[in-house]
Amino acid sequence: MKFFADTADTAEIAELAATGLLDGVTTNPSLIAKSGRDIIEVTREICGLTDGPVSAEVIALDHAGMMREAEILRKIADNVCVKVPLTMDGLKTCKALTSDGTMVNVTLCFSANQALLAAKAGASFVSPFVGRHDDNGFDGMQLISDIRLIYDNYDFQTEILVASIRHGLHVLEAAKIGADVITAPPAVIKGLVKHVLTDKGVEGFLADWAKTGQTI
């Protein structure tokens, strides 16, 4: 399963990239606003930190406007993945862009039917939001399971990019279901390494080593 960082913080992206765990990055208008930087500038810097896809989102809601913005975004770097909303205009834009060889991430997916439409429109990635789904009384991971089944039934090549990841259990369940990608805040990704028994084991080894009086 691929790991994407859901952030526009270039320092955090660089830190994760150095571990070899980073396969790509997703951004959105809220994350760009949080960075306090120009979207073109920060996206270009992020694209230089990873060879993987970097999702940059359009703001326009109409097809013509999305295409205008996509033309600007995809010129930033070869690994830009244009992000569009799961609307009829978004799907139309997705079809036009993917037919022209541009990667597209169809975002704000909340149903398996929506994911089916995204795949038929040729999306490179579809982003179902599990955390937000859970917040509204639905089962976010069941949504991922339904999408996986449908995509496998028809051999769709669209990758399931699990978004709105809140904690390690979401990552575990997504991996068990067979999702292609998860995108999560860097803190969640780094938190996956932590386990109380690992910490205790390290402490015990260090204590025993100190008793030997040796150095390496």
Active site residues: 83
Opening angle at CA 51, ends 118 and 175, nearest 5: 55
**Beta-carbon neighbour count of residue 53 at 10 Å?**
25
Assess contact for 110 and 83: CB atoms under 8 A: no
H-run or E-run covering 13: helix 10-17
Long-range contact set of residues 40-45: C-beta below 8 Å, sequence gap at least 24 = 40/72, 40/76, 42/8, 42/10, 43/73, 43/76, 43/77, 43/80, 44/76, 44/77, 45/10
